[in-house]
Structure 1
Amino acid sequence: MDVALLIGRVLFVLLFFGSGLAHLTKTADMAGYAEARGVPSARLATLASGVLIVVGALMVLLGVWGDLGSLLLVLFLVPTAFLMHGFWRETDPMAKQMEMIQFNKDIALAGAALAFFWAFAHDPGLTLTSSLF
């Protein structure tokens, strides 16, 4: 089971590495989008969330306080779902559907991160440190 958990962790964090690196390397573009969605201090929020995503993903991948890393990802995902993907604000049916898909994806990933939080607390399996919580 440890190997299955490790493979799941690798597959899970791949998404966050790509996204986090984009936040840090394509900051102007991503901050422009965040600003258009009403995020205050969009540039700072983009950079901070990029660091949060990368650090959280690394913690989960390496199993260095993976429980904390999981919570960092939840801390990114839930506000992002509501701030960036407010499908209820859309009037165009196609835009509404796309935002609903993105909202649901973020909430589902937050659920997966919470499942990893639980897994690290109960049976860390192939980790570098024990759980923090």
Structure 2
Amino acid sequence: MIFAIETAALQTFDGAFADELFLVARILFGGVIAFIGLNHFLNLEEMAGYAEYKGAPAPTLSVGASGVVLVLGGLAVALGAFPTLAAGALAGFLVVATPMMHDFWAVPEDQRQDELNSFLKNVGLLGMTVLLLAVSTVEWPYAVGVGLV
């Protein structure tokens, strides 16, 4: 017997309070991402030192640029503005930064658990960005309604 998985195009957010729950999820996720980005600026020297230790190119510039991506991407997700661009930029950042900055497999034993926790946190955040990309072409409820699509 061959099993088939059928998919249907997502047209709307159906279900009781689906629109409101999606808005709350966007605000929580986007707010956390924007706050992480803000910390890139508030702790620029410390984070640039860590980025240099991890081998990031142009560490101060890298931390500042990633802070911009995180703040703007997070705010755009929360507001529902440019959803494809915002989710794509956040996913790109996470795909690059996660293995570079949280290489738990290559650190001394006493640092391994902290790096593993940060790695897994970022993988979870990446999962959310992929989900947002999947629904980025659908009209988001309670969104400002600007985008590239």
Same fold (TM > 0.5) = yes
- Report the counterpart of residue 54 of structure 1 in structure 2: 71
- 1:125 matches 2:141: yes
| 1:15 aligned partner | 32
Q: For this pair of structures, how many residues does the alignment match?
A: 132
Counterpart check, 1:45 vs 2:62: yes
Stretches of structure 1 lacking an aligned partner (at least 5 in a row): none
Distance 1:14 1:129 in 2: 18
Q: Does 1:30 align with 2:47?
A: yes
Q: TM-score, normalised by structure 1?
A: 0.91
CA RMSD of superposed structures (Å): 1.4
Question: Partners in 1 of 2:92 and 2:101 — Cα distance?
Answer: 14
Q: Is the 8 A contact 2:34 2:73 kept in 1?
A: no
Q: Report the 3-state secondary structure (helix = DSSP H, G, I; strand = E; otherwise coil) of the residue aligned with 2:137.
A: helix
Larger Rg: 2
C-alpha separation in 1, matches of 2:136 and 2:19 = 11
- The CA deviation at 1:122 is 2.8
Q: Which runs of 4+ in 1 moved over 6 A?
A: none
How far apart, CA to CA, are the structure 2 residues paired with 1:122 and 1:35? 40
1:53 partner amino acid: L
TM-score (norm 2): 0.82
Q: Where in structure 2 are there 5+ consecutive unaligned residues?
A: 1-17
